[in-house]
């Protein structure tokens, strides 16, 4: 006869093993992510601490690789086309701790003396100071020496509002889309986050990019491994309890 009160622990071992394997896999994936994140932080820290190099010339643009070249500091001389500037909505920045509150990034095309155009994020302006007429003191006629960091376009997401060329307002740092809408012509595949010079009047506010990437992967790994250990312990205790209860019942038959 079979013991109706016995627990089907053996039949549940397969789904329990699957869930256990998934939890272990998630923990291991987080450890791999941790190693990747630490290598990325080390690489970006090294690039941002290095002296600036000459900005790549247009002939070298097709060979650039964001994985290798993003966040490299560069220096170049160019003339801004100030009337063609565009505003990108900003609500603070994890990479610019000197910026807080609601405002705008000011993007402008910078014309290189030898030909070619580089989009430059000239810096941050707070809400209420976005109109160009309020900060013309920072506009310098002719070529100026610029130091900054190479960045690549910011991807738009499902909930990113579309840019509004009529209002000169965008919601993603996407110089290619801005250039197409405003007629900047062909631009570099990267843009430059300006560090210096600081314009007269202080606006737009340029600044240094700082590595500030969250690294919580060890915490997540411990959580997944802990859940796996808890599942294993509960299942073993549950199965042992079922076997103990079945034993006396079987002997009484």
Query: What are the residue ranges spanned by the domains of the chain?
Result: 9-42+215-251, 72-196
Angle, helix 217-251 to helix 9-49, in steps of 10 degrees: 170
Residue pair 166/143 in contact (Cβ under 8 Å)? The answer is no
List of residues 6+ apart from 212 with CB closer than 8 A: 94, 95, 97
Whether pLDDT at 52 is above 50: yes
- pLDDT recorded at residue 177: 95
Residue whose C-alpha is closest to residue 190's, from 106, 116, 113: 116
pLDDT at 3: 44
Cβ atoms of 79 and 142 within 8 Å: the answer is yes
Confidence of residue 44 (pLDDT cuts 50, 70, 90): confident
Q: Answer yes or no: are the C-beta atoms of 90 and 99 closer than 8 Å.
A: yes
Q: How confident is the model at residue 81 (pLDDT cuts 50, 70, 90)?
A: very high
Q: What is the pLDDT of residues 86-141, one digit of tens each?
A: 999 998 777 788 888 899 999 999 999 989 999 999 999 999 999 999 999 889 88
User: What does the alpha-carbon distance between residue 119 and residue 129 come to, in Å, rounded to a whole number?
Assistant: 21
Q: Is the pLDDT of residue 245 over 70?
A: no
pLDDT greater at residue 199 or residue 159: 199
Residue 7 reports pLDDT greater than 90: no
| pLDDT digit string, tens, across residues 163-185 | 899 999 999 999 999 999 999 99
Report the C-alpha gap between 126 and 100 in whole angstroms.
9
- Could you tell me what percent of the chain has a pLDDT over 90? 51
Q: What is the mean pLDDT of residues 139-147?
A: 93
Mean pLDDT of the chain: 86
Give 159 or 189, the one with higher predicted confidence. Answer: 189
> So what's the pLDDT on residue 10?
60
The angle subtended at Cα 38 by Cα 37 and Cα 41, nearest 5°, is 85
Please report the beta strands in the chain, taking only residues with DSSP state E, as ranges in sequence order. Answer: 53-54, 73-80, 86-90, 103-111, 117-126, 144-152, 169-170, 190-196
- Determine phi and psi for 252, rounding to 5 degrees: -85, -10
Kindly give the residue spans of alpha helices, DSSP state H, lying in 50-102: 66-69
């Amino acid at each position: 006869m079979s013991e109706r009160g016995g627990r089907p622990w053996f039949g549940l071992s397969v789904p329990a093993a699957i869930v256990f394997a998934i939890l272990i896999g998630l923990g291991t994936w987080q450890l791999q992510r941790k190693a990747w994140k630490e290598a990325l932080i080390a690489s970006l820290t090294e690039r941002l601490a290095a002296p600036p190099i000459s900005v790549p010339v247009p002939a070298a643009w097709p060979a650039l690789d964001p994985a290798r070249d993003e966040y490299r500091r560069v220096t170049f001389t160019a003339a801004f086309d100030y009337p063609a500037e565009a505003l990108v909505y900003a609500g603070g920045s994890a990479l610019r701790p000197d910026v807080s509150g609601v405002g705008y990034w000011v993007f402008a095309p910078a014309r290189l003396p030898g030909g070619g155009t580089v989009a430059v994020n000239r810096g941050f302006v707070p809400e209420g100071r976005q109109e160009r007429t309020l900060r013309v003191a920072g506009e310098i006629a002719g070529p100026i020496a610029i130091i900054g960091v190479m960045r690549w376009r910011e991807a738009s997401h499902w909930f990113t509002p579309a840019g509004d060329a009529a209002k000169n307002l965008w919601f993603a740092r996407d110089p290619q889309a801005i250039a197409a809408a405003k007629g900047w012509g062909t631009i570099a595949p990267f843009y430059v986050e300006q560090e210096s010079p600081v314009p007269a009047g202080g606006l737009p506010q340029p600044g240094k990019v700082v590595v500030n990437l969250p690294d919580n992967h060890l915490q997540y790994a411990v959580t997944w491994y802990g859940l796996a250990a808890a599942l294993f312990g509960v299942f073993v205790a549950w199965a042992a309890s079922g076997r103990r209860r079945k034993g006396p019942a079987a002997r009484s038959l």
